Amino acid sequence: MPKNVNHSYWENKFLFKKFDLIIIGSGIVGLSTAISFKQKNKKATVLVLEKGILPSGASTKNAGFACFGSVSELLDDLSKMNDETVWQTVEMRWNGLKLLRQRLGDKHIDYKALGGYELFDKEENYSNCVNKIDELNKKITTIIGQKKCYSTLSPKKLNFKNIKGVILNQYEGQIDTSLMTNNLLSFARDLGITVLNSISVSKINSLLDSVELLSDFGIFKATKVVVATNGFAKELLNIPDVKPARAQVLITKPIKNLKIKGAFHYQEGYYYFRNIDDRILFGGGRNLDFKGETTTILELNNTIQKQLDYLLKEMILPDTKFEVDYRWSGIMGIGSEKKPIIKFIHSNVLAAVRMGGMGIAIGSIVGQDAANKIS
């Protein structure tokens, strides 16, 4: 039963009319879809529904990495997926970052081009990646138009323990996730887009010329619907090859004279850390418990959190006193390949899901593509 069936005339007039487009999910993909659609269809009525008080998956729970692919991760992808699909996905990430920066401006996401550093603790893995740098640089240049994307760096220049090699991606950066979210919301509302929080959609009924969304607040109606819930997609859609992937994160209290700068990747991107507000934000470890982390439950995994604590102390801050301030988890969407799914599930219902753990980079372009398909 709806939790509030006592809607006034004004509430019914404003919220329960038939919208041109309703988007489920107010993360970067959902808001980007709404913005792109509204810019293309200025008179359209657009509503975004979000089950949390903030985006409930990963958009406000990520590390704020503006990255498009480390060497080891790309080589792993190329060993498992079609080459064309891998490079199309990299191009989408790059174009997505450009669109995000153009749309909001670097100041409004606190974008910093500090580079992305991949750390290696095994000589063999490092050597294998170094041998592929020239080949990858040639291909990346055709996509981003920039030369010498990847280069090696002496581990001695970074004060980390047990690191045998470092590969720099000089074109990666980082953002402030809270600034991005706040400014995306402001941008959307300035366009006349309505965003409602704490609305949980339980069922989608696709009719001949419209869609009904059953929620705990009532039945919302639209001509078309976009589902942009990423790792939560299967809760609403019967969609293959997309599943949740929980990510564990912690952040320290402020550390004096913290000199670490850049976005750092470790063990094919399964671990990642950065400096934000003179704190170390450190996340990952899903590879320690793939089965347990394939869930939409936002809880902490003690085994993974202990490993994060260990690596933080032994590798990242070996000679520095620190305290962990707090910990959290977020839900990503993954599948057999990392290229997003942007397709119609029903005649008037489009899915825009499976960001592959790089929603910051790819989310804006996915939203734009979704808006173009649904228009």
Range list of β-strands (E), 173-284: 173-174, 194-196, 201-206, 211-215, 218-227, 243-252, 263-266, 271-276, 279-284
**pLDDT number for residue 7:** 85
**In whole angstroms, what is the distance from residue 3 CA to residue 8 CA?**
14
**pLDDT number for residue 4:** 53
How many secondary structure helices (H) and strands (E) does the chain include?
Answer: 9, 18
The CATH code belonging to domain 1-112+175-242+335-375 is 3.50.50.60
**pLDDT number for residue 3:** 54
**In whole angstroms, what is the distance from residue 129 CA to residue 122 CA?**
11
**pLDDT number for residue 70:** 96
Report pTM.
0.96
Residue 173 has which token pair?
A: 């950066």
**pLDDT number for residue 211:** 98
Q: How do the pLDDT tens digits run along the chain, 375 residues long?
A: 455 567 889 988 999 999 999 999 999 999 999 999 999 999 999 999 999 998 878 899 999 999 999 999 999 999 999 999 999 999 999 999 999 999 999 999 999 999 999 999 999 999 999 999 999 999 999 999 999 999 999 999 998 999 999 999 999 999 999 999 999 999 999 999 999 999 999 999 999 899 999 999 999 999 999 999 999 999 999 998 999 999 999 999 999 999 999 999 999 999 999 999 999 999 999 999 999 999 999 999 999 999 999 999 999 999 899 999 999 999 999 999 999 999 999 999 999 999 999 999 999 999 999 999 999
DSSP string, 91-143: HHHHHHHHHHHHHH-GGGTT-B---EEEEES-HHHHHHHHTTHHHHHHHHHHH
**Closest alpha carbon to 308 in 320, 296, 316, 318:** 316
Domain boundaries, given as residue ranges, for the chain: 1-112+175-242+335-375, 244-255+279-332
**pLDDT number for residue 294:** 97
In degrees, to the nearest 5, what angle opens at C-alpha 318 toward C-alphas 283 and 326? Answer: 35
